[in-house]
Amino acid sequence: MRPTAIINIVGLTSNLIGADTPFLARWSANRKISHVEPALPAVTTTAQTSYLTGKYPRDHGIVANGWLFRDEMELKLWRQSNHLVQAPKIWEVARERDPSFTIANICWWYAMNGSVDYTVTPRPQYLADGRKMPDCYTFPMQLRHRLTDELGTFPLFSFWGPRTNIVSSQWIADAARLVHQWHHPTMNLVYLPHLDYNMQRHGTEHPSVRQDLREIDGVVEGLINYYEANGVEVSIVSEYGITNVDRPVHINRILREAGLISYREERGTELLDVGTCRAVALADHQIAHVYIKDPADIPLVQDLLKDVPGIEHLLDEQGKKEWKIDHPRAGELVAVADDRSWFTYYYWLDDDRAPDYARTVDIHSKPGFDPVEMFLDPDKPLMIPRIGLKVAGKKLGFRTLMNVVPLRAELIGGSHGRLGNADGDLPVFIHRQEAPDKLNAPEVFNWLLTTAFPA
C-alpha cells in the first residue's frame, strides 16, 4: 500500500488553474489532468459517492443531495448517515486487499455511522432554547476534543450561510493535517468547499472569484507540502464546474398553480404537506425530482412541464435509465435545467405567506436546496446591527428568528447539476497516472484505488 490523500477542491476546473492559482499551476504541470464527465446530477453527494463506489446513482442510490423518503413521505436533504449509500465503498474494497488499510474522512459527505477509521464532519448543536451552536462530529469521539483544543470550534458560519469564507476550508485543511500527524491513515479524504461560494453567488466571472482562487491556492499549497513531505501521494478531484445562470425556475409554483401541491395554513404561513401532494418537486440546483402520487397523473405533469422555459430535459422511466438515475429514490419524472437556469424550491405564491424557515439558514427544514442562504436581505436596512441584536437576544436565552435571508432567487449567478459542460469547465482529476484525458465519474474509483495499491 501507498499512503494517499485525495483533496476535493469543490468547483475546480482546468479553466480556473492559472495566474490566480500559482501553486496549483506549478504542481499540476507535472501531473495528468483528466476531465471528469459527472454522473447526473452533478451535485456534491452524488459526485462524491460515484467516486467512492465506482457506481452510478442507479446502483449507489444517491440520486441528489436529498430525495423523498417514501416510507416517511418527507423531502429530506443533507442527511449524514453512510448507511444511505447502497454500494461498497473504496475503503471496504481496499480492506479486502489488505486488512491493515485505514482511512480518514475529513468532511466528505455521508461521514457518520460508517466503517471509516477517522471521521470529521460538520454537526451543529441544536439547543432547546432555539440556538444553533457551531460544532463538529468526529469518530473516535475524543478526536473532536483534540481538534477543538488545537484549532478552536469548527467555524460553521464560515462553512455555509452569508458569512461563508476561507476560514472553514483552512480549518478543514488544518484538521486533515493533524489527523494524519496523529494517526497516519493509509488514505486521507479532504473536502475544501471555498470555491463553491462566490461562484454560486455571483457567477464565475465576478472579481471576487479571483481572490477566492488565490485563497484556496494558499490553503492547498500548505496541505500538499505537508503531505508530500511526509511521503503521501496526493491527488486532486473536484465535483462539478459552475455554470453562469440568470433564470430561476419555480417548479413547485407551476405544480401548485395546476392544483397539484397541498399545503396547510399555520400562523398565517403556508407549510408544504408532502404526503397529500398529487405532485411535488425536490429542487436541487439544476435538477428537480418530481414525485407523483398517482401514476395516472404522470402524463398530466409531463404536459405541464415539458414546455416550461428553463427545463431542457424531462426524464421519464426510459430517460432515467439512459441517464443512469433509475433508482427507486428518484422522482417519477426528473427535470434537468438548461445551461442558464436552475430550480428553486419555492412553492408559495405570496411571499407574505412563506414559511418562517424560508428567510433563515435552515438546510434541513427546506424541501429543496436554497443557495440564496448565502445572501443577507438587501431590502432590510441596518442588517448588521439587526443581526447583532438577534445574536445578543439568543445569548440572553430569548427565542429569536434569524430571518435575514432574502426571497430573491434572481440574486443567484451560478449553479450546477446538469451535464454537458465543455471540457475546460468539467470537474478534474489531477494525478500521476497514465489515465485517459476524459473519465466518467465512476471510473475515478479505480484510479484512486490504483493510487493506493500501485502495481
Looking at residue 396, its pLDDT comes to: 67
The structure's pTM equals 0.96
Contacts 24+ apart (CB under 8 A), 90-94: 90/52, 90/53, 90/54, 90/187, 90/445, 90/448, 90/449, 91/115, 91/116, 91/187, 93/449, 94/1, 94/186, 94/187, 94/449, 94/452, 94/453
Instruction: Judge whether 203 and 414 are in contact, CB under 8 Å.
Output: yes
> Mean pLDDT in runs of 10 for the chain (455 residues)?
98 98 97 98 98 98 98 97 98 98 98 96 88 93 98 96 96 98 98 96 96 98 98 98 98 98 96 98 98 98 97 98 98 98 98 96 95 92 76 72 91 98 97 95 97 91
Closest residue by Cα to residue 109 from 67, 135, 80: 80
On the 0-12 / 13-18 / 19+ scale of CB atoms within 10 A, 281 is buried
Q: Alpha carbon of 390 to those of 242, 372, 377, 381, 387: distances in Å?
A: 34, 20, 15, 15, 5
The DSSP output letter for 13 is B
Strands 66-69 and 132-133: unpaired
